[in-house]
Amino acid sequence: MRKTVFKLAAACVALGSISAAAPAFAQEEAAEEAEGPITVSGGIAVVSDYRFRGVSLSDKDFAVQPYLTVKHESGLYAGVWGSNLAENAGDDVEVDLYAGFAGGDAVTYDIGATYYLYPGVSSFNYVEFTGKLGTTVGPATIGGQLSYVPSQDNTGNTDNIYVATNAAIAIPDSPITITGSVGLEDGAFTGGSSKLDWSLGATAAVKGFTLGVAYVDTDRRSTFAFKDSKAGVVFSVAYGF
């Protein structure tokens, strides 16, 4: 379906789906004390607009995004993430299967791969590889990522590169965290010319839920469909376990 998104409107959970998509890798999930070698976590988010790297994939409409991750104490993990999409030739659903290895203390790392599945239009499926680094500086957590889609039939035999940085600053004595991201994409999904996206927002933990709001923008007004990259404010509510 991603090809349909490329043409109609186009490579995750609350703000994760706003700025960098699709699935959140293991280091981005809430830390939990595992009682055994296997930790299972999951949740569901509702967003007012499914934004992937600045581009709306839900035609600026609501999206429901569940996820489930299984992680081993060694750092290996695997999971699944899903979302509804704008109308397309398939079933208007995206299912992402992801796996990788994460760890680190002062500097965290996460190396993984995501297989983007579009039920009903399997010819649009593709795989992407991602590496991430992160660290903490005072009250801020900062990170960077490099994502690469190798040339495949489903991407028009063209590769794609996405480089991004993000930061989160927790406000002392409050449930609020300020978030921001900047990303640059070039290749199969941008028509051969680079695209810059950025976001600035905040999340708040309220009685087991995470509420979010973010301003999302790009240096384009349309990427794959009319005004699909136009600036907008995205609201989200998520619950995880």
Containing 111, the helix (H) or strand (E) segment is: strand 107-117
Residue 221: CB atoms within 10 Å: 12
65, two tokens: 């995004």
* Angstrom distances, CA of residue 136 to CA of 126, 133, 174: 33, 11, 19
Biggest distance spanned by C-alpha atoms of the chain? 51
Helices and strands (H and E) in the chain: how many: 2, 14
Containing 147, the helix (H) or strand (E) segment is: strand 140-149
DSSP 78-96: EEEEEEE-SS-SS-SEEEE
Q: In which residue are the tokens 């409107």 written?
A: 9
Q: What pTM value is reported for the model? A: 0.85
Contact, 18 vs 104, CB < 8 A?
no
Instruction: Note the helical H segments in 68-149.
Output: none
Please name the residues in contact with 81: beta carbons below 8 A apart, sequence gap of 6 or more: 12, 13, 22, 23, 24, 65, 66, 67, 95, 96, 98
Residue carrying the six token digits 């990170």: 143
Q: What is the set of domains in the chain, with CATH numbers?
A: 2-240 (2.40.160.40)
Pairing of strands 209-218, 195-206: antiparallel
Which candidate, 190, 144, 131, 152, places its Cα nearest to that of 5? 190
CA dihedral 237, 138, 103, 179 (to 10 degrees): 30
> Which phi and psi angles does 190 have, rounded to 5°?
-125, 10
Instruction: Give pLDDT tens digits along the chain (241 positions).
Output: 343 333 333 333 334 444 444 454 444 444 444 468 999 999 999 999 999 999 999 999 999 999 999 999 999 999 999 999 986 555 689 999 999 999 999 999 999 999 999 987 778 899 999 999 999 998 999 999 999 999 999 899 999 999 999 999 999 999 999 999 999 999 999 987 899 999 999 999 999 999 999 999 999 888 877 889 999 999 999 999 9
What's the confidence (pLDDT) of residue 62? 95
Residues 6+ apart with CB under 8 A from 122: none
Quick one: pLDDT at residue 88?
58
Q: Using DSSP, state whether 31 is helix, strand or coil.
A: coil
* Residue located via tokens 């993000």: 166
Token pair recorded at residue 73: 């104490």
Residue 87, CA atoms < 13 Å, CB-side half-sphere:
0
Confidence at residue 127, expressed as pLDDT on a 0 to 100 scale: 97
Return the pLDDT at 200.
98
132 within 8 A of 27, measured Cβ to Cβ: yes
pLDDT of residue 7: 31
Tokens of 87: 């109308």
